[in-house]
Amino acid sequence: MASETGYARLQGDRIGYQVLGQEPPDVVLSPGSFGHLDLGWEDPGITLFCRTLASSCRLILFDRRGTGISDPLPHHPLPPWEAYAQELAAVLDEVGAERAALLAEVDAGPAAILFASTQPERVSALILSHTTARFLAADDYPIGLPREAAGASPSAARTLVRALLEVDVRPALPLIQAPTLVLHRRDAQLIHIEHGRYLADHIPGAGCRPARRHPDLQDGPGPDRRLRHRPDRPGAQPLKGVEGTWQLFSVAHH
């Protein structure tokens, strides 16, 4: 059920997107850096997941610049992380979406965090899956990866990987106003669960849902398994007004 591809424009670059479904609410699925809209439809799990979501919402998919069907990034310099939030805004404007729930995985998480903190009027809910506010370790963030990881990739990809790893959106976390749910695997190795707990602890009212396995949102949801908001710390606020949105994300955690 692949949708016809359209392109939003940002600073002369094309950003590829697809829209599935027609019913509200609007939901944006933003995968990691190595996604590809056209190739994704060849995966039965991705197709099932997107079809299920689109049956209950208007699902908006897009490839960020430098990935998939979107225009490439210049080799030097790379756009700042804020540019990724600008890409999302360009896609929302193009499809006429005033507000949307954002579902972001892995390295798409920081971009969604920035967008939610800087344009709160456009974000109805935020779901962060297996992601982090900062990848690399620092004196005040010992749970991150060793700094040597930024230079461990092949030379062709080193600049991009370094840019991804050096992002730090921790100052944006307390500014997020949208109801937020964090999904994270308990035994994750690269982005271990302390990153997810850090997000939940620093985003006002956020809930954290640990998973027994990778919370891969493209495995295909079971029709009778509903993801509930279960705050794991005192003071978390109920997710009023977005119950229908949470029910879209039926993830087989058990």
pLDDT at 122 over 50: yes
pLDDT at 139 over 90: yes
Residue 201 lies in a domain: yes
Reported as a single tens digit per residue, the pLDDT across 205-225 is: 998 887 655 444 444 333 333
Q: Are 136 and 150 in contact (CB under 8 A)?
A: yes
Quickly tell me which residue has 């396995």 as its tokens.
213
**Burial (Cβ within 10 Å: 0-12, 13-18, ≥19) of residue 183:** buried
Higher-scoring residue by pLDDT: 144, 240: 144
Residue 42 lies in a domain: yes
Range of the domain at 28: 6-133+169-247
Say which CATH number the domain at 238 has.
3.40.50.1820
Give kind and range of the element (H or E) at residue 199: helix 193-202
Residue 76 lies in a domain: yes
3-state secondary structure of 106: helix
Dihedral through CA 159, CA 162, CA 164, CA 166, nearest 10? -140
Reported as a single tens digit per residue, the pLDDT across 179-193 is: 999 988 888 778 889
Reported as a single tens digit per residue, the pLDDT across 144-168 is: 988 776 555 554 455 566 667 778 9
Higher-scoring residue by pLDDT: 50, 195: 195
Binned at pLDDT 50, 70 and 90, residue 141 comes out as very high
**Burial (Cβ within 10 Å: 0-12, 13-18, ≥19) of residue 126:** buried
Q: Are 52 and 220 in contact (CB under 8 A)?
A: yes
pTM attached to this predicted model: 0.79
pLDDT at 64 over 70: yes
Domains in the chain: how many in total?
A: 1
Residue 61 lies in a domain: yes
